[in-house]
A and B are shown apart, each in its own frame.
Chain A
Amino acid sequence: MSKGFLKSSIGKKFVMGLTGLFLISFLVVHCFINCLIFFNDGGLTFNIGADFMAHNWLIRAGELVLFFGLIVHIVQALLLTLENKKARPVGYAKIDGAANSSWYSRSMGLLGTLLLMFLIIHLVHFWVKSRFTGLSGEDANGNENLYAVMQETFKMAWVVVLYALSMISLAYHLLHGFQSAFQTLGLNHKVYTPIIKKAGIAFSILIPFIFALMPILMFFGVIK
């Protein structure tokens, strides 16, 4: 029966919501580790964190789950978006969407596609280097120097601009997605929903802002 559930419109949305929340939990961990660069100690602390992430088997297993979750999120998003397009074969000549909903809630597919493009570039920048092609060397503590890769990458102005813009896409994706996931999972409550909505707004602005700060501050040499 649960197979029937996953094939239903609500079941598909349920998968979107769960994978979305899972990706949000990943963002928290990712952001926390990256914040170690704010020690501004030439990346020594950050590299300890990055080295741990790269060699802890639990984290590596989590990474596989993360990729699986991301792929499910993306494939499901594609299927849902196509189905939704099919549900209105003849469109309206005039639509006043702003009267009843936010533009970003209507643009999750577009925002997600921008995020996907960013993720591919981002993975090439860091993940491929750290996992496959090897890093340029070790730091004073003998840890792999992922920080040096960051410094190299964020010397390029176009990269910094791309990262900052992508974080704006992420912010809007989350601005709708965070609270939407709770609604999808059936969690709508007179008292808690307004709190979830406020927490969602705070999260959606704060996390992408901190992420965007990293390339910007490195580019301008505030973090060395």
Chain B
Amino acid sequence: MGSGHGTELNLTLKVWRQKNTKATGSFETHQLSGISTDMSFLEMFDVLNEKLISEGKEAIAFDHDCREGICGMCSMYINGRPHGPKQGVTTCQLHMRSFKNGDTIVVEPWRSAAFPVIKDLAVDRSAFDRIIASGGYISVNTGNAQDANNILIPKTDADEAFGAAACIGCGACVAACKNSSAMLFVSAKVSQLALLPQGQVERKERVKKMVAAMDEEGFGNCTNTGACEAECPKGISLENIARMNRELMGATFK
């Protein structure tokens, strides 16, 4: 691993360019040569942007922050898949060794009415923030950190809550879904709190509010294709969606 002797690639890049939310946008083609297979996908974009800047052209806007798979910013729809051809990684964790010399790579922004394009590849994912703000919190005062065994939680619940809490809000689930459904994201956020004692106080109100907020934002309806689960970089499971459905039924009919 990481011997540093990557080979070099010549690539054709087709990138979506769009001036602002209102503009129509179109693809722009770039030829890149000498791209090291050790580079990350975002580093490849850095190289391209430096080239554009040195040519006096405008750099391509794209979101990124941590570049280590934890912030969920790096939304790019690469060759027909969110975060590109590898399973379980974000774009920043995708490396050029996943591509072959001479490849044409098509890069598009997340496409969803609820995620308007801000510019080029950068989209506005604040719809997720508004869903969280509607109920994805607990308002009990938890005080200082408890002794680990003060609140007993069954191991399976703890594991499932932890699994759900791994969601980084990247939006790949929405991007992958043919219906632009946000069910995987919202169900992860509902689950992580519904499974733990601290989340019980607002449990019923929370699921109602978060589902209502999700619908309000204009995400589509889940048809259980499973594309979200397959493309989620954090392995969030469809079981969470079933749990959210149960939670909403429980909150409505009990």
Contact = CB atoms under 8 A, between A and B. Distances in A.
A136 interface: no
A20 to B, nearest CB: 11
A222 interface: no
Contacts of A106: 178, 225
Interface stretch (B39-47, B192-200, B241-249): B241-249
Nearest to B176: A100
A183 B248 contact: no
Nearest to B82: A100
Contacts of B221: 9, 12-13, 80, 83-84
Contacts of B208: 4
A89 B248 contact: no
Interface residues of A, number: 42
A101 B226 contact: yes
A108 B80 contact: no
A41 B183 CA distance: 54
Given A8-B211, A8-B215, A99-B80, A84 B220 contact: yes
Given A14-B245, A90-B111, A94-B106, A101 B227 contact: yes
A12 to B, nearest CB: 6
A209 B106 CA distance: 42
Contacts of A179: 224
B37 interface: no
Contact of A91 (B14, B79, B111, B114): B111
Interface residues of B, number: 48
A100 B243 contact: no
B218 to A, nearest CB: 6
B239 A87 contact: no
B11 interface: no
Interface string B212-240: 10110011111111110011000000110
Nearest to B217: A87
B108 A8 contact: no
Contacts of B225: 100-102, 105-106, 176
Given A87-B181, A93-B27, A99-B80, A13 B222 contact: yes
A89 to B, nearest CB: 5
Interface string A171-191: 000001001100111111000
A95 interface: yes
B181 A184 contact: no
Q: Quick one: which of A8, A9, A99, A105 has the most chain B CB within 10 A?
A: A9
Contacts of A188: 238-239, 241-243
Contacts of A102: 225
A97 B227 contact: yes
A5 B220 contact: no
Given A88-B220, A102-B225, 7 more contacts: A8-B211, A9-B219, A13-B223, A87-B180, A93-B27, A100-B226, A100-B230
6 contacts: A4-B252, A13-B222, A87-B113, A87-B219, A91-B111, A100-B227
The 7 closest A-B pairs by CB, nearest first: A96-B80, A188-B242, A87-B220, A186-B246, A100-B230, A84-B179, A87-B180
Interface of B: 14, 27, 77, 79-81, 85, 106, 108, 111-114, 176, 178-181, 183, 208, 211-212, 214-215, 218-227, 230-231, 238-239, 241-246, 248-249, 252-253
